[in-house]
Structure 1
């Protein structure tokens, strides 16, 4: 049964459309379970009925015609209850409904399993048998497992319209809506540009080409380079390999012949697909065919096929120069996984919106997107992104929705929202040179979080008074090797000069988790609880010292540097970092540099640090809270995982209590406490943090004017009253709703999310 399940999983993943997958699956289950019938009923939105879409055993003519509502038949009961129903004799059940076109009157045993995706019943998977008997527990467990595998495929097909191929040609995806996670507020309308991951066959988009001959030549050029690589390896290893082992290289070369894979790719190109898309299609199909073969040797060839495909794709991508792609006006960049590296390299002149299949609203890529002020949606796990290149879409960064080929009516609604938000932004721009002072005179310094080069000018344009977090890892991530001390010095100097004499807080290299360096890979089972932050740099003092020296040299004559240590969990880490800093200061002074020891602080990001705030405060000059990671660790929610994104709550009572505790404990040692997490970027969150006693709020530059407007629109006492009410509440969703309504009552409704289509 495990072998049958593996085969079905392969069929689901490799099928070109849902109809093909369903036909293969019902045949495999019917044969594998030795049952008489296997059928799939899918929910049809226009008719609100469960329609028979595939069957092995029932009358073929009934497929696409036979249907039941959720209140009809045992199939409807399975869907309504959202749980399996296993019957010895279906005809004796009260819910039995006879469908004469199916011919199912001959079958007695019945097992129906709901196909569920994200709590929504998409259909019902059914097996039937003439004999009167109950399917055993292993058979039922097998069916439940298959339905779970089937759910993702059907969800994508349902969203794209490809599930309706028997009734309607899927030529358009008009007004199709895909739900993800809101990651960057705003609305963007424009054509999609798919950014394919390097050497990732599963991420290559489909694109139409007109010059077929030129595309075929591009493919042949890449193919010849791979052949030369294989021949070269074969020659270098000729003396070390046996005759049969050397013969493998000949096998690989033959697989690339026109009579094999190469010929199939050319055929697909002639149908209009570009070389990369044709290659991806052919390799995926061939690998899937090998993977389901009974013979273990042949099954292993699936790996060889994919490896050859990746090699050819690499050369194709080199030939297309993906980094030089000319974006159209108002481009919507879609990637399988949006990364800080992509954001650091892409030109933002024509970029209107961002969409990522994976990731969540609190990933570092999303945080950087917000700092750029670009409407962003993350975690649309069911998005058929390979089919979207060139299509017109709406990115709703407020609700986390993406609309494909929207109607004129929907376009009109979102264009009006875009216009209204532009007016609010223009009005907020007038606050640039005004301080963030409440109506009763409380002054709240507003700093910014930076990392990208463009962040500096954006922050200054919006009236930032300093940098509360400069992410030094970004310059490391967009390079192919560690930047030298001189390169780092030049990068840091630009940040310090731009904000002098205002303070610039530079966080030491913070890699690990969802931030990796291509030339310094960290492979771990659980990276967020692993080797990251200060743990990495203290294990590599040579990296730490070079970076500290570069920061110190960059600050010479400016003296506005502050250094911050990330992911600190113990006083040992603080003491060791201070020791290394003192060493760097001493060495530079001995070299003749006019260097002063800058203020040093720690980031409170993990629960262990929360309860050591006063111990840390005795050793450093300031405390800064990284509320994004702190919330992640307090709530045990991976903020990059869209499946649990809904559980990540900045206003969770536990998070709010921790934040209040940190501020109170830091002030007992008379030390400055700031916060540089995303909570400070929200008007309501900023008011709560001000009421808790935070001395500085640091945020993305895009949201700074909104936060400033909120602070200037209230009295400190109002903010404290708001916090006291929230502190007594015990549900994060209720807190969020209460804050939204409170902001409106305070006359700050223009700072909240606009009314959006249902």
Structure 2
């Protein structure tokens, strides 16, 4: 049964739509379990569970048999949220017979729930006329099948219908993580790497004859390529090996793959998408075969598929047209993909892969383009040309939005514009409370494009300059002189204000293409200071470049990431002192800059006092600290609801750090996303944080909130929330304070969308 399981799972994962997946499940499970019936019931919008696919019951019953939660044996599976295994189903009080199935009464029944994100999406059932007690292995097999089916069904249910995306438009919501804040409303343009069979976007075909002619031209080009390769290798290969090229040519014949593709084009599908569908189906067929030789032929089919697809896509690239309001969508967006879109037309980005710290997200923030990353459930290949809303604040993507939702987000966008204009007047005003408590607001930067935006919004310094960004933009490590030039630009732009430069922080979800780090658990692995201490040549070159860049300006601070103990700090300081003395010996006019530690792992929280005694300042990285304290990957959309920066444990850790830092006479700042949350800024000020550093976009909002309250109000709010036990209660208490201060619209411009 294990071989059957692998084969079915592979087929289901390759299915391009829900109907195909259901057909595979009911047919193959019935065969594998040697039963007479296999059926799938799915939840409809009304909450009932409807027979959607069957092998063994009358097909006319599909869509007709309907049960509510708790109704019949299927309803019992739903209500219990666990398998129901009965040898004599008719004897059970919940048993119901449906004459419309036109079949015998079945005695044996095994039903398992199909669950996705704690929701019962449906029920997978096998039945048999003879009495049979399905054993534990049978149950385990069916549970595994239901888990595979859950993701496929979730995709279809998210679209609001049980038909393939692109047939009937229905509003759908997909969650990811915020890459760059803002609202974008436009038309989706799907991009994919050339020759990636699984990423070909669905596009309809208007002129069938022209599309078939185009397809056959591409086939002819590939035929010539294959013949040419055969001629070049003729003397180096034996007859059997040369036969592979003949097999390739045969597969391209109109009676084989070519004919299947032409049939799909006649149905109104574009040639690239039709080709990818046919190739994936054949590849899957070969891959699922038991014979090892035939199974290996899947590789040949895939290779041929990529060759033809490259021609199909390359020809289409030359006539690519981008709409005025382009929202670029892809599996894994790259900087080069962004560069292909005219600057005045690109208004939003959505990437299925990636995180808020991905290179594309960093660029998007610098360019002010609303972005959602990690939208793992998004059926992106079917999104091309569809209306889309990108909510970069909440990390949400809406396809085919209703008129009501579009109106809602249009109002948010207008209010955001008005609010930004109103906040511009605050640029020259100090960030201080009504009772004159001063709180400096700094910015987080990574690119030179961040500088103008930061200065326009009245930044008083840089709390975090991400030095890894210049490393990410190259195909090799930048030299010491190249780094010095880059750092000098940042230091000069903000002089005389302080610029805090974090040493190279790679690893986790930030890997350099020329220095790959492959680990099973990268966030708990080789990253941050651990990498640079193991490679002192990289660390020393960076420190020397920083110090030389600061010569004559002396506005540099050095920040060490991922410090988890005193020993790491001492090792890093030793290297910094070494670089400093080397530069003095080389007659460079440099000064030893202040050295600080990032508090972003729990160990550093509980050693904050000892660390503070050995440095000039502390800076909390709230993003990593929150994920480590809560054991929640902050870039994983599936557990996004568990990533709560207002969790009482996080607030207590933040308070302890600032108290321990101040006990040693050092300043304590915070440079995570929490610092840019206007409501959180009130709490951080009350805790005693000396500096808040944030994305430049959020700086005016935070300043407006701080200027609307007094310190006593903030301290009263802090005292209240430190007694609360749930993040939602903390957020509610903060919002009440903002409403009382008349600045709630800065945090939540309009009511939340559903």
Alignment of 1:598-613 (within 5 A): 598-613=593-608
**Superposition map of 1:238-637 within 5 A:** 276-307=272-303, 309-310=305-306, 327-337=322-332, 349-359=344-354, 369=364, 373-637=368-632
> Which deviates more, 150-159 or 269-278?
269-278
Per the alignment, residue 751 of structure 1 pairs with: 746
Say whether the 8 Å CA contact 1:448–1:698 is kept in structure 2: yes
Specify whether residues 509 and 268 from structure 1 end up closer, same or farther in structure 2 by C-alpha distance, changes over 3 A only: farther
- Quick one: which of 669, 680, 697 aligns to 1:674? 669
Question: Does the CA contact (< 8 Å) of 2:226 and 2:245 recur in 1?
Answer: no
Q: Would you say the 8 A contact 1:216–1:269 is kept in 2?
A: no
The CA distance in 2 between the partners of 1:581 and 1:262, in whole Å, is 65
Aligned mates of 2:351, 2:308 — CA distance in 1: 25
Q: How far apart are 1:102 and its partner, in Å?
A: 0.5
Per-residue deviation, 1:302: 2.6
1:699 matched to 2:694:
yes
1:227-238 aligned within 5 A: 227=226
Q: Give the C-alpha shift of residue 245 in structure 1.
A: 6.6
CA displacement at 1:330 relative to structure 2: 2.8
Task: Please give the secondary structure, in 1, of the residue aligned with 2:140.
Answer: helix
Q: Hey, what's the Cα distance between the residues in 2 that align with 1:104 and 1:454? A: 69
How many Å separate the matches in 2 of 1:98 and 1:262?
A: 47
- Return the match for 1:690 from 664, 678, 685: 685
- Worse-matched range after superposition: 50-59 or 358-367: 358-367
1:14 alignment counterpart: 14
Structure 1 stretch displaced more, 248-257 or 403-412: 248-257
Task: Name 1:160's counterpart in structure 2.
Answer: 159
CA distance in 1, matches of 2:550, 2:702: 30
- 1:118 is matched with which residue? 117
Q: Deviations over 1:545-592 (max 9, x none)?
A: 222232233223322222211112233332332333333333334444
d(CA) in 1 for partners of 2:307 and 2:482?
34
Asked if the contact 1:341–1:478 (Cα under 8 Å) also holds between the matched residues in 2, the reply is: no
Greater shift, 18-27 or 217-226, is seen at 217-226
Whole-angstrom distance in 2 between the partners of 1:232 and 1:549 = 57
> In 2, distance between residues paired with 1:523 and 1:226?
36
List per-residue Cα deviations over 1:360-416 (Å, max 9, x = no partner).
668786576556544333443321111111211122344443322223333223212
Shift of 1:345: 9.1
Matched pairs, number: 750
Separation in 1 of the partners of 2:685 and 2:572? 30
The residue number in structure 2 matching 1:43 is 43
Query: CA RMSD for the aligned pairs?
Result: 3.2
Q: Aligned-pair distance for 1:706?
A: 0.6
SS, match of residue 631 in structure 1:
helix
Distance 1:218 1:159, change over 3 A: farther
Alignment of 1:77-156 (within 5 A): 77-156=76-155
- Alpha-carbon distance change, 321 to 575 in structure 1, aligned in 2, over 3 angstroms: farther
Question: What is the alpha-carbon distance in structure 1 between the residues aligned to residue 663 and residue 2 of structure 2?
Answer: 61
> 1:718 is matched with which residue?
713
Taking the aligned partners of 2:537 and 2:680, their CA distance within structure 1 comes to: 39
CA contact (8 A) 1:604 1:610 kept: yes
Shift of 1:320: 6.8
170 and 683 in structure 1: CA distance in 2 versus 1, 3 angstrom threshold: closer
Is contact 1:359–1:642 with CA below 8 Å preserved after alignment? no
User: Contact 1:360 / 1:642 at 8 angstroms: preserved in 2?
Assistant: no
- Tell me the CA shift for residue 645 of structure 1: 1.6
Report deviation, 1:598.
2.0
List per-residue Cα deviations over 1:113-162 (Å, max 9, x = no partner).
Answer: 11111122221111111112321121111111101111111121223366
Rounded Cα–Cα distance in structure 1 between residues aligned with 2:692 and 2:342 = 29
The answer to whether the 8 A contact 2:505-2:561 is kept is: yes
CA distance in structure 2 between the aligned counterparts of 1:345 and 1:533, rounded to whole angstroms: 33
Q: Is the 8 A contact 2:70 2:78 kept in 1?
A: no
Gaps of 5+ in 2: none
CA contact (8 A) 1:439 1:712 kept: yes
In 1, distance between residues paired with 2:218 and 2:8? 32
The Cα shift of 1:741 comes to: 2.4
Deviates more, 1:280-289 or 1:665-674: 280-289
Contact 1:372–1:702 (CA<8 Å) still a contact in 2?
Answer: no
Q: Is the 8 A contact 1:183 1:362 kept in 2?
A: yes
Residue 737 of structure 1 deviates from its aligned partner by 2.2
* Aligned position for 1:62: 61
Q: Which deviates more from structure 2 when the two are superposed, residues 511-520 or residues 592-601?
A: 592-601
C-alpha deviations, 1:173-204, integer Å up to 9, x for none? 23233344455543221011223256643233
- 1:27: which partner in 2? 27
CA 1:398–1:259: 2 relative to 1, 3 Å: same
Task: Identify the range of structure 1 (587-596 vs 499-508) with the bigger mean alpha-carbon deviation.
Answer: 587-596
- The 2-side partners of 1:579 and 1:196 are apart by 47
Whether the 8 Å CA contact 2:104–2:129 is kept in 1: the answer is no
The answer to whether the Cα contact below 8 Å between 2:159 and 2:170 also exists between their aligned partners in 1 is no
State whether structure 2 residue 183 is matched by structure 1 residue 187.
yes
Q: Secondary structure at the match of 1:430?
A: helix
Residues 52-89 of structure 1: CA distance to partner in whole angstroms, max 9, x if unpaired?
11111111221222222324322122223322211122
Contact between 2:42 and 2:51, CA under 8 Å: does it hold in 1?
yes
Relative to structure 1, the CA distance from residue 552 to residue 398 in structure 2 (aligned partners, 3 Å threshold; closer, same or farther) is closer
Tell me if structure 1 keeps the 8 A contact 2:160–2:171: no
* Kept after mapping to 1: 8 A contact 2:358/2:510: no
Q: How much does 1:538 deviate?
A: 2.0
| TM-score, length of structure 2 as denominator length | 0.91
Distance in 1, matches of 2:584 and 2:463, equals 27
**1:110/1:626 Cα in 2 relative to 1: closer, same or farther (>3 Å)?**
same
* Structure 2: distance between partners of 1:192 and 1:477: 27
Contact 1:492–1:551 under 8 Å retained in 2: yes
Bigger Cα displacement from structure 2, 658-667 vs 489-498: 489-498
